Amino acid sequence: MNSSRTGLRRAALVVLSAALVATAAGTAQAHPGKAGPAKGHHDDKGHHHGKGHPKPAASLRDLADRRHVLIGTAVDTTALAEDSAYRATTAREFSSVTAENVMKWEVVEPERGRYDFSAADELVRFARAHGQQVRGHTLLWHNQLPAWLTEGVADGSIDAKELRKILREHITAEVTHFKGRIYQWDVVNEVFEEDGSLRDSIWLQQLGPSYIADAFRWAHKADPKAKLFMNDYNVEGVNAKSTAYYELAKKLRAQGVPVQGMGVQAHLDIQYGFPTDLAANLARFDRLGLQTAITEADVRMFTPSDPAKLARQASDYRGLLAACLATKGCASFTVWGFTDKYSWVPGTFEGEGEANILDADFRHKPAYAALREELAKRH
Ligand code: G3I
């Protein structure tokens, strides 16, 4: 029933061959750091050569490809343009990329009807050059909306009828622009409150709950092949919020609305317990016939880190990946950035950070090793 992983197998093979071409062309190198004792040396592809270590070190994407899962990262496109180590690591380690910001509404439609896809197009070009797939993020959210839209709704110059038209035009324009180049779209992002009621956003206030089905239908019409996702945080375990998504997905699918995936963001914090029922939660969406994905994984802590905190962080990353690998329809595992050099966390959670798998100097942290080990396991 759920053929997403099988379907991805073919795509993954295409990605791998393209990656090999890209690597052979010398586009993916600049070793980002290493885990373990410093013996031998790494060549410019990150492959380790030295006494007793003849085996080249496989990248995350090499290992993920063997497991028929895509390993992704959110990409800060400014860093991608300006930081060569960031660029090389993005190319070397990942088979999927997500725009951290540049596919969001305020960036792509800064004025009504005037679209600017330039930054996102750059990322799509980069992905194509490096044999990577692209996750689309995001078509409808309550954050990072342009001022013309929020102010228009607030001052009454945009009424409900007009807002619905604006939403339809935005979704149609963006999905059409990227048609055929996005494998999963986060169509609606963060539409539920923690208690499982629909979020009190301008969308709900103005349009009522039907905006969700509309968004999926419009996106599907514009690109029938892209897999269309709901996406949220705090939905790792089985709880009121994830159950609301489950019930909504069930209802929409019964109505023939093209909802095809559930995205679990997975912004974790080591001060809280690991959501041990993640695999059980993913499995229930699997049984509904939906793809699942870990879409924004990171694991923050109060800084500075110490070995115990980093070990706990590694264990959390490992647990997230293991749950995805154990779920047939979990088609991609994406980290929300890979280096502590660029992260949204310190700007949002005071005193916290170091949430990523490489440190600010691109050195591998225990979490990186944990992901590699988990991907390398025989299954
Ligand atoms: O682009 C402007 C720039 O022109 C300006 O000079 C600068 C000054 O602050 O701000 C820049 O915008 C920032 C933008 O990131 C791009 O860097 C915003 O202030 C900043 O708030 C914004 O943060 C993003 C955040 O979403 C917004 O809510 C983070 O980078 C991004 O990682 C984060 O991603 C979200 C996902 O989309 C959804 N799930 C949660 C996740 C983490 O919050």
DSSP 338-355: SBTTS-SHHHHSTTEE--
The best mutation among 234, 342, 344 to test binding of ligand 1, ranked by most ligand atoms within 8 Å of the C-beta, falls on 344
pLDDT for residue 53: 55
Q: 69: closest CA among 9, 135, 14? A: 9
Q: Identify the pLDDT of residue 5.
A: 53
Nearest CA to ligand 1 atom 14: 101
pLDDT of amino acid 54? 54
Q: Cα of 79 to ligand 1 centre, how many Å?
A: 14
Which of the residues are catalytic? 190, 296
DSSP string, 81-95: HH-HHHHHHHHHH-S
The answer to whether the predicted template modeling score (pTM) of the entire model surpasses 0.75 is yes
**Cα–Cα distance, 366 to 219 (Å, whole number):** 39
pLDDT of residue 379: 72
Residue 44's pLDDT is what?
A: 35
In degrees and rounded to multiples of 5, residue 151 shows phi and psi of -70, -40
User: Nearest-CA neighbor of 186 among 127, 128, 131, 235?
Assistant: 235
* Choice from 78, 97, 144, 187 to test ligand 1 binding pocket (greatest atom count within 8 A of CB): 144
Going by CA atoms, what residue is nearest to atom 42 of ligand 1? 344
Alpha helices in the chain (DSSP H): 4-24, 60-66, 77-82, 84-93, 105-108, 118-129, 147-154, 160-177, 202-207, 211-222, 240-254, 278-287, 307-325, 345-348, 366-376
How many angstroms does the Cα of residue 185 sit away from the middle of ligand 1?
19
Nearest C-alpha neighbor of 245 from the set 227, 225, 259: 259
Find the helix packing angle between 278-287 and 307-325, rounded to 10°. 20
| Nearest one of 180, 243, 251 to 213, comparing CA atoms | 251
Give the separation between CA 350 and CA 303, rounded to whole angstroms.
Answer: 10
| 265-287 as b/e: b if 16+ CB within 10 A | bbbbbbeeebbeebbebbbbbbe
Residues (pLDDT < 50) of the chain are: 1-3, 6-50
